[in-house]
């Protein structure tokens, strides 16, 4: 792991004695964001560990996933080894191992403490998604439908001793008609949920190794799937300008949150009845419009009533990934502008006036 640290980029430059600006709504909620600049290109994914004290980010150009302290944004180091864009990342239950997916047609397993590469899972095409199963005894990967290869979900057994680890999958699940952008393990590892470019959510039976249920959730491409804290619900985001809340067991759509721009990511608060969504105008058109027109804010919605509650500005490009901290007291967002922003809520946020209860 590269141990060289970078200077934190915050909204205050001590040598110039510039006052930190606060992001406030009309009622006085204030947040002082911490800006993290550790990547050379657009942020593709960010992920907290279970405890919420570590944040791992990855980007499309620099090939080096980066790990940070989630409290103050101090960089810990990089995972160096990929030869292509890194699309996805996950951390195991004990924060001992990390899994990454890359366009170099590999998924790689890393030691979180040392940054050492533990194992490489080769694929026939780019790997878009990875994820640890509950209990960390299995993992999943999803490859793209390119290089004359079909889109496929692979399931591997994960050994404690890396000398016994193999790159032979125990399940191969074909049948998706397009690129899989998101894949997550369901409760008890009984099934895997995927979101695809055709707007469908599919439930895959892990034991049988086949598709169990399909729902046409969106009219356009699905960009992300995130569970609620207890995994009873999950939220999807799509470039059809909606985010939708689904029941995990039945795949019934419970709520629809409508926006005025494509949505790349959405997350459910572990504390309150709130969801946050982020996205913005397509990246190819960003340079010809202002940030105001592009709508690069993080929007807050009431999870039950679907009411718009407010927004947080700051990014100068579309938000590609965002996530609530597992403790619910902050959230992180990563954008096409190459920055990761950490937002810690102030005490006013936790009063009934703001929390949406």
For 166-196, write each residue's pLDDT tens digit: 999 999 999 887 789 999 999 999 999 999 9
Question: Domain total for the chain?
Answer: 2
- Report the distance separating Cα 239 and Cα 253, nearest Å: 17
Q: Which domain holds residue 266?
A: 13-37+227-357
pLDDT at residue 30 in the model:
61
C-alpha triplet 13, 19, 21: angle, nearest 5° = 105
| Residue labelled with tokens 């105001």 | 292
Assess if residue 45 is contained within a domain: no
The secondary structure element, H or E, covering residue 291 is helix 291-294
pLDDT greater than 80 at residue 135: yes
Mean pLDDT of the chain: 87
pLDDT at residue 357 in the model:
52
- From the CB of residue 108, how many other CB atoms can be counted at a distance below 10 Å? 22
- Report the distance separating Cα 44 and Cα 181, nearest Å: 11
- Report the distance separating Cα 67 and Cα 46, nearest Å: 10
For 220-271, write each residue's pLDDT tens digit: 999 999 999 999 999 999 999 999 999 999 999 999 999 999 999 999 999 9
Q: Are residues 172 and 274 in the same domain?
A: no
Percent of the chain exceeding pLDDT 90 equals 76
Assess if residue 316 is contained within a domain: yes
Q: Are residues 176 and 240 in the same domain?
A: no
Query: Considering 148, 181, 216, which residue would you say is the last residue of a domain?
Result: 216
Task: Return the CATH number at 335.
Answer: 2.130.10.10
pLDDT greater than 60 at residue 331: yes
Q: Are residues 21 and 63 in the same domain?
A: no
Query: pLDDT grade, residue 18 (50/70/90)?
Result: very low
């Amino acid at each position: 792991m590269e141990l060289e640290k970078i200077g934190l980029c915050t909204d205050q430059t001590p040598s110039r004695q510039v006052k930190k600006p606060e992001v406030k709504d009309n009622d006085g909620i204030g947040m002082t964001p911490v800006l993290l600049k550790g990547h050379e290109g657009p942020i593709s994914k960010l992920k907290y560990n279970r405890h919420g004290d570590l944040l791992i980010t990855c980007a499309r150009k620099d090939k080096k996933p980066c790990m940070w302290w989630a409290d103050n944004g101090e960089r810990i180091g990089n995972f160096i080894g990929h030869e292509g864009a890194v699309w996805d990342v996950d951390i195991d239950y004990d924060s001992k191992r990390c899994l990454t997916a890359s366009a170099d047609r590999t998924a790689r397993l890393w030691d979180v403490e040392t940054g050492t590469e533990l194992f490489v899972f080769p694929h026939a095409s780019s790997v878009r998604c990875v994820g640890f199963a509950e209990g960390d005894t299995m993992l999943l990967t999803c490859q793209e439908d390119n290089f004359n290869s079909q889109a496929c979900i692979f399931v591997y057994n994960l050994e404690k001793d890396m000398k016994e680890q193999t790159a032979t999958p125990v399940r191969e699940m074909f049948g998706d008609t397009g690129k899989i952008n998101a894949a997550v393990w369901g409760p008890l590892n009984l099934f895997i949920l995927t979101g695809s470019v055709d707007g469908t959510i599919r439930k895959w039976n892990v034991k049988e190794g086949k598709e169990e249920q399909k729902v046409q959730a969106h009219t356009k491409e699905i960009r992300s799937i995130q569970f609620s804290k207890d995994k009873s619900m999950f939220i999807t985001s799509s470039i059809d300008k909606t985010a939708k809340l689904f029941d995990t067991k039945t795949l019934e759509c419970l709520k629809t949150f409508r926006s005025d721009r494509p949505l790349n990511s959405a997350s459910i608060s572990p504390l309150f009845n709130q969801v946050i969504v982020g996205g913005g105008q397509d990246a190819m058109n960003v340079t010809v419009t202002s940030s105001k027109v592009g709508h690069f804010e993080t929007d807050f919605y009431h999870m039950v009533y679907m009411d718009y509650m407010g927004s947080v500005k700051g990014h100068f490009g579309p938000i590609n990934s965002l996530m609530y901290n597992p403790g619910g007291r902050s959230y992180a967002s990563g954008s096409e502008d190459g920055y990761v922003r950490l937002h810690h809520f102030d005490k006013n946020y936790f009063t009934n006036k703001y929390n949406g209860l």
